[in-house]
């Protein structure tokens, strides 16, 4: 067992941290107000290799490990969790799904543009009436001639309106339940596909979230992604890894909130001394630092298992559950330590507090993580 980051990993962390401080920090509130993923930022993220973190060099990717991926997402989230969410959804959902289950031709068509950041990726599983119970989806893909016709709507899709490439899950044979769901890959602008309502969100506002509607959307047979009927199982695998990304995002967000709280506690004076001198404040900081370290270790362990090619369903769910619940607590304490200044937009505390809540909801709620963990615990003696 070795807890040290490699020299390359230390350099990677420093590089992404410096990038986030220089290119993102000055714009955090502007992007939050605009409620848009910054088109100016995309080529800069791509130039650093962050739009294709774990993908092969043959497609233009950075070929980094899952642990490296965590470091990147953590450092982006420390400064702007909304940007980190967009980068994680692009890498960990859409691009990862095509990379893991696409044919050689599909990979050659889509991966180079995705990993170079020429287009953003979107991934559509959730529907208005099928969230945690995703297999209850109503969107259908019906065979017609040599292709498929998609009908239905996906809800809460990151980059739903602006993604250039989308992976979408649809029912191809309702009689087969979970095994009657298939995935398709399609381009933005395909006739019959359109963006629906753009969500006006509490937090993560630097990341676009929209409904996507399909009305007699015709796809050639080559757009089927993976085997027919296998998409639900494939999706569970994508989410096992995706959750490591949300865990890393939670660690980074909590780290950012903790650092803001610590600096403020040292500067702010009440009763003739810095508030950091009060034990009540010290304990909040001590608990935050301890739980962030525990979250980071759980997250890196799940990523390490992924790098070893091992199954990590339980470990990624544990990391996501613990890190996101920790981040919610740390962001709450960050506002509390700032007092009234935590409630206004002149300080970063209120934004961390708004952004953080997504971490216990997206890619499976905390309740669903507990369900996944319990299933794993009870199915192995
Ligand atoms: C900003 C944002 C971005 C998103 N991006 C994407 C995306 O890119 N692609 C995509 O497909 N989806 C995306 N989602 C959707 C997200 O994954 C879902 O919101 C999430 O899975 C929860 O589904 P739901 O909202 O329908 O809640 P519901 O499933 O209706 O849950 C409501 C409540 O009931 C609880 N609950 C449900 N079932 C159980 C159970 N069996 N046991 C105990 N409690 C239960 C839940 O934990 C929750 O507390 C995004 C959501 C947001 C907010």
Beta bridge partner(s), residue 367: none
Rounded Cα distance, 82 and 302, in Å? 23
pLDDT higher than threshold 60 for residue 381: no
Nearest to 363 by CA among 321, 330, 327, 335: 321
Region 325-336 average pLDDT = 98
The reply to whether ligand 1 has any atom less than 6 angstroms from the CB of 15 is no
pLDDT higher than threshold 80 for residue 207: yes
Distance between Cα 128 and ligand 1 center (Å): 10
pLDDT higher than threshold 60 for residue 220: yes
Token pair belonging to 359: 């971490």
Distance between Cα 146 and ligand 1 center (Å): 35
Count other C-beta atoms under 10 Å from residue 21's C-beta: 13
The reply to whether ligand 1 has any atom less than 6 angstroms from the CB of 156 is yes
Region 146-168 average pLDDT = 98
Nearest to 86 by CA among 175, 162, 168: 162
Token pair belonging to 355: 């952004």
Beta bridge partner(s), residue 308: none
**Residue 2's pLDDT band (boundaries 50, 70, 90)?**
confident
The reply to whether ligand 1 has any atom less than 6 angstroms from the CB of 368 is yes
Q: Could you identify the residue written with the tokens 């001590």?
A: 286
**Ligand 1 atom 24: the closest Cα is on which residue?**
131
> Tens digits of per-residue pLDDT, 75-89?
999 999 999 999 999
The reply to whether ligand 1 has any atom less than 6 angstroms from the CB of 235 is no
The reply to whether ligand 1 has any atom less than 6 angstroms from the CB of 255 is no
* Active-site residue (options: 75, 315, 350, 363): 363
Distance between Cα 96 and ligand 1 center (Å): 20
Contact between 361 and 204 under an 8 Å Cβ cutoff? The reply is no
> Tens digits of per-residue pLDDT, 18-36?
999 999 999 999 999 999 9
**Ligand 1 atom 27: the closest Cα is on which residue?**
131
Rounded Cα distance, 316 and 322, in Å? 10
58 annotated active-site: no
Q: What pLDDT score was predicted for residue 303?
A: 98
**Residue 63's pLDDT band (boundaries 50, 70, 90)?**
very high
The share of the chain scoring above pLDDT 90, in percent, equals 99
Q: What pLDDT score was predicted for residue 178?
A: 94
The reply to whether ligand 1 has any atom less than 6 angstroms from the CB of 28 is no
Region 240-257 average pLDDT = 98
Q: What pLDDT score was predicted for residue 1?
A: 85
């Amino acid at each position: 067992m070795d807890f040290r980051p490699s020299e390359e990993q230390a350099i990677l962390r420093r590089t992404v941290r410096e990038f986030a401080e220089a290119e993102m920090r000055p714009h955090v509130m502007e992007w939050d107000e605009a409620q848009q993923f910054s088109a100016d930022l995309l080529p800069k993220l791509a130039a650093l290799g962050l739009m294709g973190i774990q993908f092969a060099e043959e497609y233009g990717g950075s070929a980094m490990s899952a642990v490296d991926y965590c470091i990147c997402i953590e450092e982006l989230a420390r400064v702007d969790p909304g940007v980190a969410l967009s980068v994680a959804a692009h890498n960990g959902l859409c691009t990862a799904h095509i990379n893991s289950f696409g044919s050689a031709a599909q990979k050659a068509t889509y991966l180079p543009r995705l990993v170079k950041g020429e287009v953003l990726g979107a991934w559509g599983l959730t529907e208005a009436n099928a969230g945690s119970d995703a297999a209850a989806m109503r969107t259908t893909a019906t065979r017609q001639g040599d292709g498929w016709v998609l009908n239905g709507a996906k809800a809460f899709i990151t980059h739903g309106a602006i993604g250039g490439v989308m992976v979408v899950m649809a029912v191809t044979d309702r009689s087969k339940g979970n095994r009657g769901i298939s995935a398709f890959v399609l381009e933005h602008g395909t006739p019959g596909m359109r963006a629906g309502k753009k969500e006006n969100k509490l937090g993560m506002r630097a990341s676009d979230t929209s409904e996507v509607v399909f009305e007699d959307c015709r796809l050639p047979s080559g757009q089927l992604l993976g085997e027919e009927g296998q998409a639900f199982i494939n999706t569970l695998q994508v989410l096992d890894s995706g959750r490591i990304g949300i865990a890393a995002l939670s660690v980074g967000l909590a780290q950012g909130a903790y650092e803001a709280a610590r600096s403020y506690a040292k500067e702010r004076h009440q009763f003739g001394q810095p508030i950091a001198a009060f034990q009540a404040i010290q304990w909040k900081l001590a608990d935050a630092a301890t739980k962030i370290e525990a979250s980071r270790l759980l997250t890196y362990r799940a990523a390490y298992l992924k790098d070893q090619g091992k199954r990590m369903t339980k470990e990624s769910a544990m990391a996501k559950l613990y890190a996101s619940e920790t981040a919610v607590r740390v962001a709450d304490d960050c506002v509390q330590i700032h007092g009234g200044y935590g409630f206004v937009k002149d300080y970063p505390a209120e934004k961390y507090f708004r952004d953080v809540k997504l971490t216990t909801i997206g890619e499976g709620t905390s309740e669903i993580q507990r369900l996944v963990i319990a299933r794993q615990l009870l199915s192995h003696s």
